[in-house]
């Protein structure tokens, strides 16, 4: 059409030189494998900045080191006051990599729990990707914490938990527990995670070397998959289960769902991701696209092929366009399928996808494959603290339990042989039994948001429990609906795939979405494009009443999806606008 601008060609490894790419790309290349901070005034090693903090000579790291630190599972953060203004309180968030949510052995869990008191704020934060985050880790404790996690949790336990690489591979938490189906999702998650783990020696040289620079860590001269550029942006993978999609697989760059209970053939999806930017129509939440069926023995190579295509063809100048979800839509699905078939020799069968199972919380008591049982505990917004944290630790140590973290920010206590002994410990420490938690509260998730996350515009974890207090006071706590909330449109807690999704807009406003599905096969649409914090409780009360009074036997998401937005706002009694 006349007057329309021709989109600029993508800046990729295949078409452009480093000088044409973003600053982040130059930082990665010039770091020589994430080791060096290429400061024009005084080039130095990342380890130099770490040691300065350990000695108390500085509170935090430089801006360039901040970009490198993400690859090690570290986020530089800064405290924020009541109106969101940054303070001079500097600290870090540290995240572990934990494929498929565990199973964490007794010793691993104890080491993770110990870290919260020794180095962080005394809480364990279960993430929406089945990991654990530690908050308020101060610079003088950062090096000691990384060594503790590497020693007590697992070798290179935080490497690749953040950064422009494959992130934590998700899977159903019951994959190794369910007595009926054994599809091998846990094993598959570990195979993929091992393949795509960064091979750089810098992790060991920075955090694990002795005073003379010697390290017992592995030595690998190069990144066989990522190369010196790594990926254009983060990459995420989710694996489903015949009875469960708590991993919300279609929101990932690669999604896998088994066709049967044996895991011989899998539906392969690709190109999902929920992050977007306000007022930027070129960004959007997308669900993964079905490519076809792939046999188990070719799954790992298919994933490797997609990662390599993203490395070569992903956008490297505009980071808002750098995710694989944009790359595949720019290249075309047919081009990607052809490359997988011809270049990587993947035998993709063209066939319709099987229905995906719904999200399941797995709370309470369940029989476990091989004997005994597992017990699911609801952890509000993933923040395990105070008596609940103490009770879980005591149960794990005393009864020799293993632990699996779920994609809904809860945890499963596994290998339980004495249910009465477990419940006695949990009750004595004030750990709420699942049946005492309202259904809507149990279904919900929220990201940490303010005051720690630098991207957050609004509260999420700190405000969502108060919303439920109000809903429960109105007698609406047992309405079966899934709410997810984030403080910004990066959507870490996945609001666009929820039945009711909320994310921050400005300092005191939110976007409200409705109509996602329990199986994750449909995104929610906008009900309120901008609504003030003062209107949030009346809006949620109105939505919950509309669901209770009008949905009938329909799932809440189906009812909200089908309702005309203007009519629904009328039932709610709150109009759009802040």
pLDDT tens figures, 279-310: 999 999 999 999 999 999 999 999 999 999 99
Q: What is the pLDDT of residues 543-578, one digit of tens each?
A: 999 999 999 999 999 999 999 999 999 999 998 876
* 16, 225, 245, 270, 337 from 307: Cα distances, Å: 19, 8, 23, 11, 13
pLDDT at 318: 97
DSSP lists the bridge partners of residue 486 as 503
pLDDT at 1: 46
* Position 40 pLDDT exceeds 80: no
pLDDT at 86: 81
* Position 365 pLDDT exceeds 90: yes
Mean pLDDT of 512-525: 98
CATH class of 364-437: alpha beta
Q: What angle do CA 315, 321, 323 make, to 5 degrees?
A: 80
Second-level CATH architecture of 440-572: 2-Layer Sandwich (3.30)
pLDDT at 84: 66
Helix H or strand E encompassing 536: helix 536-550
Nearest to 39 by CA among 26, 50, 20: 26
Q: What is the pLDDT of residues 220-265, one digit of tens each?
A: 457 999 999 999 999 999 999 999 999 999 999 999 999 988 999 9
Give me the helices (H) in 197-266, please.
Answer: 202-207
Percent of the chain scored above 70 by pLDDT?
Answer: 96
3-state secondary structure of 508: coil
What mean pLDDT is reported for the chain? Answer: 94
pLDDT at 469: 98
* Position 82 pLDDT exceeds 80: no
Measured over the CA atoms of residue 386, residue 392, residue 393 and residue 394, the dihedral's sign is positive
3-state secondary structure of 277: coil
Contact present, 170 and 407 (Cβ < 8 Å)? yes
pLDDT at 48: 94
Second-level CATH architecture of 22-167+195-220: 2-Layer Sandwich (3.30)
**In the chain, where are the structural domains located?**
22-167+195-220, 364-437, 440-572
Contact present, 71 and 28 (Cβ < 8 Å)? no
Give the integer Cα–Cα distance in Å for 383 and 378: 10
Percent of the chain scored above 90 by pLDDT?
Answer: 89
* Position 128 pLDDT exceeds 60: yes
pLDDT at 369: 96
Q: What is the pLDDT of residues 427-458, one digit of tens each?
A: 999 999 999 999 999 999 999 999 989 899 99
DSSP lists the bridge partners of residue 269 as 255, 290
């Amino acid at each position: 059409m006349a007057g329309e601008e021709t989109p600029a060609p993508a800046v990729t490894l295949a078409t452009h030189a480093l000088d044409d790419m973003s600053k982040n790309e130059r930082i990665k290349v010039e770091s020589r494998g994430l080791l060096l901070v290429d400061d024009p005034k005084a080039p130095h090693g990342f380890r130099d900045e770490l040691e300065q903090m350990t000695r108390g000579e500085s509170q935090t790291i430089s801006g360039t080191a901040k970009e490198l630190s993400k690859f090690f599972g570290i986020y530089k953060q800064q405290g924020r006051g009541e109106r969101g203004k940054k303070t001079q309180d500097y600290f870090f968030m540290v995240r572990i990599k934990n494929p498929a949510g565990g199973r964490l052995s007794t010793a691993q869990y104890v080491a993770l729990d110990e870290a919260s008191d020794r180095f962080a704020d005394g809480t364990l934060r279960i993430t929406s990707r089945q990991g654990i985050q530690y908050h308020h880790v101060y610079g003088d404790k950062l090096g000691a914490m990384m060594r503790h996690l590497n020693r007590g949790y697992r070798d290179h336990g935080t490497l690749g938990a953040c950064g422009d690489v494959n992130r934590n591979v998700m899977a159903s938490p019951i994959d190794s527990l369910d007595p009926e189906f054994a599809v091998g999702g846990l094993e598959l998650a570990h195979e993929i995670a091992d393949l795509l783990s960064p091979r750089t020696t810098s992790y060991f040289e920075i955090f694990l070397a002795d005073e003379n620079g010697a390290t017992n860590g592995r030595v690998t001269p190069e990144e066989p998959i990522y190369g010196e550029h790594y990926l254009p942006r983060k990459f995420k993978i989710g694996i489903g289960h015949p009875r469960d999609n708590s991993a919300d697989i279609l929101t990932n760059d690669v999604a896998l769902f088994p066709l049967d209970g044996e895991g011989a053939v899998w539906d392969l999806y690709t190109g999902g991701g929920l992050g977007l930017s306000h007022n930027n129509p070129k960004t959007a939440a997308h669900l993964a696209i079905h490519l076809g069926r792939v046999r188990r023995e070719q799954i790992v190579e298919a994933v490797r092929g997609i990662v390599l295509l993203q490395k070569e063809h992903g956008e490297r100048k505009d980071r808002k366009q750098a995710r694989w979800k944009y790359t595949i839509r720019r290249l075309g699905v047919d081009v990607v399928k052809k490359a997988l078939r011809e270049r990587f020799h993947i035998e993709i069968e063209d066939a319709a996808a099987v229905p995906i199972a719904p999200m399941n919380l797995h709370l309470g008591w369940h029989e476990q494959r091989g004997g005994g049982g597992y017990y699911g505990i609801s952890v509000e917004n993933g923040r395990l603290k105070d008596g609940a944290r103490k009770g879980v630790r005591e149960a794990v140590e005393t009864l020799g339990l293993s632990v699996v973290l779920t994609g809904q920010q809860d945890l499963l206590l596994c290998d339980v042989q004495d249910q009465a002994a477990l419940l006695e410990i949990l009750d004595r420490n004030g750990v709420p039994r699942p049946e005492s938690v309202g259904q809507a509260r149990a279904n919900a998730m929220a990201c940490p948001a303010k005051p720690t996350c630098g991207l957050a515009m609004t509260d999420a974890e700190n405000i969502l429990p108060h919303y439920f207090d109000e809903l429960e006071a109105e007698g609406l706590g047992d309405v079966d609906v899934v709410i997810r909330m984030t403080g910004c449109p990066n959507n870490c807690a996945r609001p666009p795939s929820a039945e009711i999704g909320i994310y921050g807009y400005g300092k005191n406003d939110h976007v409200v979405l409705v109509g996602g599905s329990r199986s994750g096969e449909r995104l929610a649409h906008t009900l309120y494009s901008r609504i003030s914090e003062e209107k949030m409780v009346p809006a949620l009360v109105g939505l919950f009443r509309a669901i209770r009074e009008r949905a009938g036997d329909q799932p809440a998401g189906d009812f909200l999806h089908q309702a005309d937005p203007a009519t629904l706002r009328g039932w709610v009694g709150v109009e759009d606008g802040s």
